[in-house]
């Protein structure tokens, strides 16, 4: 009996052991994607003009050849299209068969996600596109909706298929070897984290207004961000190409749209919408369509969001009651079910800024123990318990995982303004990446880790002089164009020194007591300066500052501006003189990564250091009679007190002072003036701690005072100097990394 030819033999014949293509006539080219309208295919929607397919939050970008292959299959007659005809229409005559196999393999792999579309073989070596209902359960892709569940990886899935196990294991070993080789090559063979050498920085979004929370598209070609334009209270989402051009609006309306996050599939963007005192968690397709609410959120706890690896869930901070701390939760986008991820202790502000690694094995988040006291914690999928990654308690203004999940790129206020740091997940020493004028925040890393989009905050301030009587109105100078801060009046009360970036970098400026006749005192182009303090005779200033991740103390001659270094350990900050001028107090870290402690050294000879605190300390100042030392701590908020020497207990006297206002206090006769910040949008309040009554009372509001901007007081204690904000702009910058 004559054997029925196989599908392969029906379309090919063998000659000398090699297949020979059937002869075909000239064929029409594949349909033009630009002229082909969108169409439905099973559960998928094919968008030929944009070269992609979408399904719910899933987006698949198709290369031109694969797209042409799909279009030919879609328009084929019921009997299908012959293999050689398909190859010729997609690639032209004489194209290698390997190219067609690659396209078919990619399409089959994508369509297998839910099984609603199949590419089947038909007699005559033809291919037919079959569509139908999805295979029940297959869309779950592993069956576990938790954001930390690691879906079965491609190697394991392939091994477990009912195939030849030896062949599968051999191929798996080869693949693992290639991956290890590639990882070693990427890490330079050292096993260390990726390099963070900055090759260049350029503006990305610098239009007027506040641009925040950038997030890269999975292909690295676009960035979505929130933009509140001048005069508008609400922000909306915009998409901009990395190469530049005008931004494309994504959302509109009355809502205040914040914290966009792009899903790994690329088709879905999640964000928080604030409106009428309420908060909704929303999603929208990347083309601006299919806007929908997916879960609840709390306006007082909302912050950056992160998608699960497969885009099935969103992880974000939420608070279920006003008296409870913010916790990290996950919402399933299909069912709307909420599940808790973290469980902070009641009484603290709580957890925020969740960031999930690309492989979903590590979740990083920020735990705030009190305002301004923050550290990064990690949750490992294998362990399920959180562990503390940082121990400096510095405010965190954003973070992003590198693709391998080994290192976090973090905007942190370590020893100064907010700058970019690379913090390895193994707890080893952080590495400085980028600083400059203005605080950095919300870094977004491209999928290939070669580009970073980051916020840079710019403040404009003006000098305000306010009588301490609450009913008296402040006297203000004309609005400035720079960030002036940290005022200090000379001992005779005639001159004012302050830090300003009006020259393009942080320098000390000297002016009359009313801010008139300003002149630049230093010309060192410091990356940051802080806490200028006058010597008792008014001839010298001591200030902290440095470049990159260094922080040292400098003495500056007021007449000439000449400076000399007082420390060279790169870990010293917050200087202040004793009341009798015999000592200089300052904070220093005994070792890299250690908690800062307060020490004092004889002045002016600057002799050996004497330890003052052992449980942590930053800014310090003696009481008016010199018998007490008031200070702040790096690991908790509040104003503390102890004797100037060793051997005394640390006493919390005013918990109302927030850690983020660690420079906004000063000693006065009989007590301390300091800043408190009521919850909500109320203005900062100046309060007074009275030593005799051991009580705190309200003095007056200080509208516009920025955190850590500093205060100055006249000798008679009647008037207060500070710099109030007149304008705040947040721009986005694009950083190129090695």
pLDDT for 706 equals 83
Out of 153-162, 703-712, 728-737, give the one with best mean pLDDT.
728-737
The contacts of residue 379 (CB under 8 Å, 6+ apart) are 148, 341, 342, 362, 363, 364, 365, 385, 386, 387
> What is the third-level CATH fold of 7-140?
Arc Repressor Mutant, subunit A (1.10.10)
pLDDT for 385 equals 75
Local confidence band at 497 (pLDDT 50, 70, 90 cut-offs)? very high
Local confidence band at 138 (pLDDT 50, 70, 90 cut-offs)? low
Distance CA 239, CA 223 (A): 6
Structure tokens at 198: 């900055």
> What is the third-level CATH fold of 459-653?
Neuraminidase (2.120.10)
Q: Does pLDDT of 529 surpass 90?
A: no
Structure tokens at 120: 């089947």
Structure tokens at 457: 């905050």
How many Å is the maximal CA-CA distance in the chain?
117
pLDDT for 384 equals 65
Higher pLDDT, 655 or 139: 655
Q: Does pLDDT of 734 surpass 60?
A: yes
**Which range among 53-67, 162-176, 340-354, 459-473 shows the weakest confidence by mean pLDDT?**
162-176
Straight-line distance from the first to the last Cα atom of the chain, in angstroms, rounded to the nearest whole number: 68
Structure tokens at 418: 């907010």
- Among 608, 525, 598, which residue's Cα sits nearest to residue 563? 525
- Are the beta carbons of 556 and 544 closer than 8 angstroms? no
Query: From residue 279, how far is each of 271, 304, 619 by CA, in Å?
Result: 10, 14, 38
**440-488 per-position pLDDT tens digit:** 999 999 998 899 999 999 889 999 888 887 777 778 777 777 889 999 9
User: Which three-class secondary structure state does DSSP give residue 290?
Assistant: coil
- Among 574, 571, 485, 492, which residue's Cα sits nearest to residue 538? 492
Extended beta strands in 16-93, E state: 18-21, 39-41, 44-47, 52-55, 58-61, 81-82
* Torsion region of 99: left, alpha or beta (phi above 0 gives left; psi -120 to 50 gives alpha): alpha
Local confidence band at 417 (pLDDT 50, 70, 90 cut-offs)? confident
Q: Does pLDDT of 638 surpass 60?
A: yes
The helix or strand, by DSSP H or E, that contains position 100, with its residue range, turns out to be helix 97-111
Distance CA 415, CA 390 (A): 14
Q: Does pLDDT of 192 surpass 60?
A: no
Structure tokens at 7: 């599908």
Check residue 218 and report its DSSP letter: T
pLDDT for 69 equals 92
pLDDT for 557 equals 94
pLDDT for 26 equals 63
Mean per-residue pLDDT, 632-656? 84
User: Which three-class secondary structure state does DSSP give residue 560?
Assistant: coil
pLDDT for 70 equals 94
pLDDT for 10 equals 36
pLDDT for 137 equals 64
Distance CA 378, CA 444 (A): 19
Distance CA 601, CA 612 (A): 10
- Are the beta carbons of 619 and 636 closer than 8 angstroms? no
Superfamily classification of domain 198-449: TolB, C-terminal domain (2.120.10.30)
**37-62 per-position pLDDT tens digit:** 888 898 888 988 878 888 765 678 88
- Are the beta carbons of 493 and 508 closer than 8 angstroms? no
Three-class SS of 330-355? EEECCCCCEEECCCCCCCCCEEEEEE
pLDDT for 6 equals 36
Residues of the chain with CATH 1.10.10.10: 7-140
Other residues' Cβ atoms within 10 Å of the Cβ of residue 505? 18
Mean per-residue pLDDT, 118-130? 88
Out of 204-213, 541-550, 683-692, give the one with best mean pLDDT.
204-213
Local confidence band at 188 (pLDDT 50, 70, 90 cut-offs)? very low
- Among 397, 504, 526, 506, which residue's Cα sits nearest to residue 455? 397
In the chain, DSSP finds a helix count (H) and a strand count (E) of 6, 55
Higher pLDDT, 182 or 229: 229
Higher pLDDT, 647 or 175: 647
- Among 172, 6, 156, which residue's Cα sits nearest to residue 83? 6
Query: From residue 474, how far is each of 141, 471, 478, 512, 715 by CA, in Å?
Result: 64, 10, 13, 18, 18
Q: Does pLDDT of 664 surpass 60?
A: yes
Angle at the Cα of 392 from the Cα atoms of 391 and 397, rounded to 5 degrees: 110
Structure tokens at 337: 């079910």
Q: Considering the entire predicted model, what is its pTM?
A: 0.71
Q: How much is the mean pLDDT over the chain?
A: 83
> Torsions phi, psi of 55, nearest 5?
-150, 110
Mean per-residue pLDDT, 707-715? 87
> Torsions phi, psi of 501, nearest 5?
-105, 20
Distance CA 630, CA 538 (A): 23
Structure tokens at 436: 């400059």
- For strand 126-131 and strand 117-122, is the pairing parallel, antiparallel, or unpaired? antiparallel
- For strand 519-520 and strand 475-476, is the pairing parallel, antiparallel, or unpaired? unpaired
pLDDT > 70 fraction of the chain, expressed in percent and rounded: 86
Q: Does pLDDT of 7 surpass 50?
A: no
Q: Does pLDDT of 173 surpass 70?
A: no
The helix or strand, by DSSP H or E, that contains position 283, with its residue range, turns out to be strand 278-285
Among positive and negative, which fits the CA dihedral 693, 696, 697, 703?
positive
Q: Does pLDDT of 72 surpass 90?
A: yes
Is the preceding peptide bond at 604 cis, omega within 30 degrees of 0? yes
pLDDT for 595 equals 85
Q: Does pLDDT of 2 surpass 60?
A: no
Local confidence band at 181 (pLDDT 50, 70, 90 cut-offs)? very low
- Buried residues in 384-416 as b, exposed as e (16+ CB within 10 A): eebeebbebbbbbbbbbbbbbbbbbbbbbbbbb
Q: Does pLDDT of 140 surpass 90?
A: no
The helix or strand, by DSSP H or E, that contains position 64, with its residue range, turns out to be helix 64-75
pLDDT for 538 equals 93
Residues of the chain with CATH 2.120.10.30: 198-449, 459-653
pLDDT for 383 equals 59
**559-615 per-position pLDDT tens digit:** 999 989 999 988 899 999 999 999 999 999 888 778 899 999 999 998 899 999 988
What's the number of CA atoms in the CB half-sphere (13 Å) around residue 558?
Answer: 20
Local confidence band at 144 (pLDDT 50, 70, 90 cut-offs)? very low
Mean per-residue pLDDT, 414-440? 87
How many whole angstroms from its chain centre is CA 180?
A: 29
**Which range among 16-30, 469-483, 648-662 shows the weakest confidence by mean pLDDT?**
16-30
Other residues' Cβ atoms within 10 Å of the Cβ of residue 669? 10
Q: Does pLDDT of 20 surpass 60?
A: no
Angle between helices 97-111 and 64-75 (to 10 degrees): 80
Mean per-residue pLDDT, 344-350? 86
**Which range among 218-232, 312-326, 670-684 shows the weakest confidence by mean pLDDT?**
670-684
pLDDT for 413 equals 86
């Amino acid at each position: 009996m004559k054997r029925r030819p196989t599908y392969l033999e029906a379309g090919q014949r063998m000659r000398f052991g090699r297949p020979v293509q059937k002869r075909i006539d000239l064929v029409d080219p594949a349909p033009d994607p630009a002229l082909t309208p969108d169409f439905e295919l099973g559960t998928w929607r094919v968008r030929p003009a944009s070269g992609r397919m979408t399904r719910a939050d899933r987006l698949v970008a198709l290369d031109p050849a694969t797209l042409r292959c799909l279009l030919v299959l879609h328009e084929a007659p019921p009997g299908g299209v012959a293999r050689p005809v398909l190859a010729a229409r997609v690639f032209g005559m004489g194209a290698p068969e390997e190219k067609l196999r690659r396209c078919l393999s990619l399409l089959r792999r994508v369509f297998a996600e839910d099984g609603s579309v199949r590419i089947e073989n038909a007699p005559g070596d033809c291919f037919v596109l079959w569509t139908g209902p999805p295979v029940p359960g297959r869309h779950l892709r592993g069956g576990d909706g938790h954001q930390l569940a690691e879906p079965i990886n491609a190697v394991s899935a392939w091994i477990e298929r009912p195939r030849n196990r030896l062949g599968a294991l051999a191929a798996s070993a080869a693949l693992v070897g290639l991956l290890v080789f590639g990882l070693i090559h990427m890490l330079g063979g050292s096993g260390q984290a990726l390099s963070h050498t900055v090759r260049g920085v350029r503006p990305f979004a610098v239009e007027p207004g506040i641009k925040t929370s950038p997030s890269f598209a999975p292909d690295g070609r676009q960035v979505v961000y929130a933009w509140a334009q001048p005069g508008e209270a609400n922000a909306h989402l915009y998409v901009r190409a990395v190469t530049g051009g005008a931004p494309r609006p994504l959302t509109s309306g009355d809502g205040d749209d914040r914290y966009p996050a792009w899903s790994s599939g690329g088709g879905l963007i999640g964000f928080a919408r604030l409106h009428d005192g309420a908060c909704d968690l929303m999603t929208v397709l990347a083309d601006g369509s299919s806007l929908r609410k997916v879960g609840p959120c709390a306006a007082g706890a909302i912050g950056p969001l992160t998608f699960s690896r497969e885009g099935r869930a969103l992880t974000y901070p939420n608070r279920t009651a006003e008296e409870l701390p913010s916790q990290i939760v996950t919402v399933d986008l299909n069912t709307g079910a909420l599940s808790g991820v973290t469980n902070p202790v009641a009484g603290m502000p709580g957890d925020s800024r969740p960031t999930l690694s690309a492989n979903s094995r590590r979740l990083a988040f920020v735990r705030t123990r009190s305002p301004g006291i923050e550290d990064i914690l990690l949750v490992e999928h294998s362990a399920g318990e959180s562990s503390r990654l940082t121990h400096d308690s510095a405010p965190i203004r954003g973070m992003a995982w590198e693709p391998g999940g080994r290192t976090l790129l973090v905007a942190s206020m370590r020893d100064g303004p907010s700058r970019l740091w690379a913090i390895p997940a193994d707890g080893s020493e952080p590495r400085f990446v980028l600083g400059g004028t203005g605080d950095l925040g919300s870094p977004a890393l491209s999928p290939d880790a070669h580009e970073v989009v980051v916020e840079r905050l710019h403040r404009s301030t003006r000098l305000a002089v306010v009588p301490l009587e609450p009913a008296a109105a402040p006297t203000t100078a004309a609005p400035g164009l720079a960030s002036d801060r940290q005022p200090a009046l000379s001992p005779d009360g005639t001159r004012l020194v302050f830090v300003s970036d009006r020259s393009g970098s942080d320098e000390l400026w000297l002016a009359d007591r009313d801010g008139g006749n300003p002149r630049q005192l230093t010309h060192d182009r410091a990356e940051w300066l802080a806490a200028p303090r006058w010597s008792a005779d008014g001839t010298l200033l001591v200030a902290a500052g440095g470049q990159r991740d260094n922080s040292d103390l400098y003495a500056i001659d007021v007449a000439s501006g000449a400076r000399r270094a007082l420390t060279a350990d790169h870990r010293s900050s917050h200087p202040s003189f004793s009341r009798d001028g015999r000592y200089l107090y300052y904070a220093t870290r005994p070792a890299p990564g250690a908690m800062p402690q307060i020490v004092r050294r004889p002045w002016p000879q600057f002799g050996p250091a004497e330890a003052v605190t052992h449980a942590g300390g930053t800014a310090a100042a003696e009481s008016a009679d010199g018998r007490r030392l008031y200070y702040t701590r790096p690991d908790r908020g509040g104003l503390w007190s102890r004797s100037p020497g060793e051997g005394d207990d640390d006493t919390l006297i005013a918990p109302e002072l927030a850690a983020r206002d660690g420079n906004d206090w000063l000693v006065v006769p009989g007590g301390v003036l300091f800043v408190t910040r009521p919850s909500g949008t109320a203005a900062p309040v100046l309060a007074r701690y009275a030593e005799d009554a051991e009580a705190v009372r309200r003095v007056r509001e200080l509208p516009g005072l920025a955190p850590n901007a500093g205060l100055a007081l006249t000798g008679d204690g009647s008037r207060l100097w500070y710099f109030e904000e007149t304008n705040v702009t947040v721009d986005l910058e694009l950083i190129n990394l090695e």
